[in-house]
Amino acid sequence: MALWWWRRCCCCFSRAPAFGSLRSLLEAAGPRLGCGPCAGRAAGRAEMHYFLGRSSVLSFPKIRSIFLRFHHTTTSRTCSCSKTVTDEKYKDPFKLGRKDLKNLYEDIKKEFLVSTAELREMCEYYFDGKGKAFRPMIVVLMARACNIHHNNSGEVQASQRSVAIIAEMIHTASLVHDDVIDDANSRRGKMTVNQIWGERKAVLAGDFILSAASVALARIGNTTIISVLSQVIEDLVRGEFLQLGSKENENERFTHYLEKTFKKTASLIANSCKAVSILGCPDPKVHEIAYQYGKNVGIAFQLIDDVLDFTSCADQLGKPAAADLKLGLATGPVLFACQQFPEMNAMIMRRFSLPGDVERARQYVLQSDGVQQTTYLAQRYCHEAMKEISKLRPSPERDALIQLTETVLTRDK
Q: With respect to another protein, which residue has the nearer C-beta, 12 or 204?
A: 204
Of these, 11, 218, 313, 346, which contacts another protein (CB under 8 A)?
218
Of these, 119, 191, 323, 349, which contacts another protein (CB under 8 A)?
119
**Touching another protein, residues 345-404 (CB under 8 A):** none
Find out whether 269 and 138 touch, Cβ atoms under 8 Å: yes
- How many whole angstroms separate alpha carbon 370 and alpha carbon 206? 34
Cβ-in-10-Å burial (0-12, 13-18, 19+) of 3 comes to: middle
Please state the closest distance from residue 305 (CB atom) to another protein, in A.
21
221 binds another protein (CB under 8 A): yes
327 binds another protein (CB under 8 A): no
CA 138 to chain centre: 11
Q: With respect to another protein, which residue has the nearer C-beta, 12 or 203?
A: 203
Site string for another protein, 18-37 (x = CB under 8 A): --------------------
Find out whether 403 and 96 touch, Cβ atoms under 8 Å: no
Of these, 47, 107, 199, 288, which contacts another protein (CB under 8 A)?
199
Q: 278-296 as b/e, with b when 16 or more CB fall inside 10 Å?
A: bbbbeeeebbbbbbbbbbb
Residues 6+ apart with CB under 8 A from 27: 12, 16, 43
- How many whole angstroms separate alpha carbon 300 and alpha carbon 138? 14
Of these, 92, 106, 128, 183, which contacts another protein (CB under 8 A)?
183
Please state the closest distance from residue 167 (CB atom) to another protein, in A.
15
175 binds another protein (CB under 8 A): no
Amino acid at 390: S
Give the binding range for another protein (CB under 8 A) out of 16-24, 111-119, 269-277, 358-366.
Answer: 111-119
- How many whole angstroms separate alpha carbon 90 and alpha carbon 109? 33
Give the binding range for another protein (CB under 8 A) out of 127-135, 227-235, 271-279, 282-290.
Answer: 227-235
Q: With respect to another protein, which residue has the nearer C-beta, 227 or 363?
A: 227
223 binds another protein (CB under 8 A): yes
Please state the closest distance from residue 59 (CB atom) to another protein, in A.
41
Residues forming the site for another protein (CB under 8 A): 113-116, 119, 177, 180-181, 183, 194-195, 198-201, 203-204, 207-208, 210-212, 214-215, 217-223, 226-227, 230-231, 233-234, 236-238, 240-241, 244-245
